[in-house]
Amino acid sequence: MVKNDNIKKQITELIYNKNNQKQIPDYYANFNIVSPEHSPHEVEVKTYPQSVSKNIFALIWDIHSSGTISSTIVPSPTPFVYEKNITNGMRTQMHSHEYLELFYVIDGEYHQKILGREYVFQKGELCLIDKNCHHQEILDDGSSTILFIGITSHMFNEMMTHLSNAGRINAFLNTAILEQKNIQQYLHFKPSHDEESCLKLENTLMSLIDELKKYDDASPFICQGLLLRIFKILGTKYDFSLSKQTRKKMNMILFEEITQFITENLADISIQMLVSEFHFQKDYFNRLLKAQTGMTYTEYIQLLRLRHAEKLLLTTDYTIEQVAEMIGYHNKGYFYKIFTEKYSLTPAQFKKKCLKFYI
pTM: 0.72
- What is the average pLDDT across 115-131? 92
Residue 202, judged by CB atoms within 10 A of its CB (0-12, 13-18, 19+), counts as buried
Q: Is the pLDDT of residue 1 over 50?
A: no
Give residue 27's pLDDT. Answer: 81
Quickly state the pLDDT bin for 178 (edges 50, 70, 90). very low
Superfamily of domain 6-242: Regulatory protein AraC (2.60.120.280)
Q: What percent of the chain has pLDDT over 90?
A: 60
106-131 mean pLDDT: 93
Query: Which tops the pLDDT comparison, 277 or 46?
Result: 46
Q: Which of 44-53, 175-184, 239-248, 325-334 has the highest mean pLDDT?
A: 325-334
Give pairs for 70-73: CB < 8 Å, separation 24+: 70/15, 70/16, 71/15, 71/33, 71/34, 72/14, 72/15, 72/20, 73/28, 73/31, 73/33, 73/49
pLDDT (0 to 100) of residue 244? 65
Residue 52: pLDDT band with limits 50, 70, 90: low
Res. 40: pLDDT tops 50: yes
CA distance 84 to 334: 74
DSSP structure class, residue 22: S
Q: For the chain, give the percent of residues with pLDDT over 70.
A: 89
pLDDT attached to residue 131: 85
Question: What pLDDT is attached to residue 73?
Answer: 95
Residue 151: what pLDDT?
94
Dist. CA 274–CA 264, nearest whole Å: 12
**Residue ranges covered by each domain of the chain:** 6-242, 264-359
Q: Is the dihedral of CA 321, 327, 329, 330 positive or negative?
A: positive
Average pLDDT in the 215-234 region? 93
Helices (H), the chain: 6-15, 153-160, 169-172, 195-213, 219-237, 244-264, 271-278, 282-293, 297-315, 320-326, 332-343, 347-358
Average pLDDT of every residue of the chain:
87
Concatenated DSSP letters of 62-111: EEETTTEEEEEEES-SS-B-EEEE--TT-BBPPEEESSEEEEEEEESEEE
Q: Which residues pair with residue 105 across a beta bridge?
A: 146
pLDDT in tens, 262-280: 999 999 999 999 888 876 7
For the stretch 54-96, pLDDT in tens is 899 999 999 998 889 999 999 998 999 999 999 999 999 999 9
Q: Are the CB atoms for 266 and 304 separated by under 8 Å?
A: yes
Class of domain 264-359: mainly alpha
Per-residue pLDDT at 4 exceeds 80 = no
The pLDDT value recorded for residue 127 is 94
155-158 CB contacts, 8 Å cutoff, 24+ apart:
155/55, 155/56, 155/220, 155/223, 155/224, 155/227, 156/100, 158/224
* Radius of gyration of the chain from its Cα atoms, rounded to whole angstroms: 26
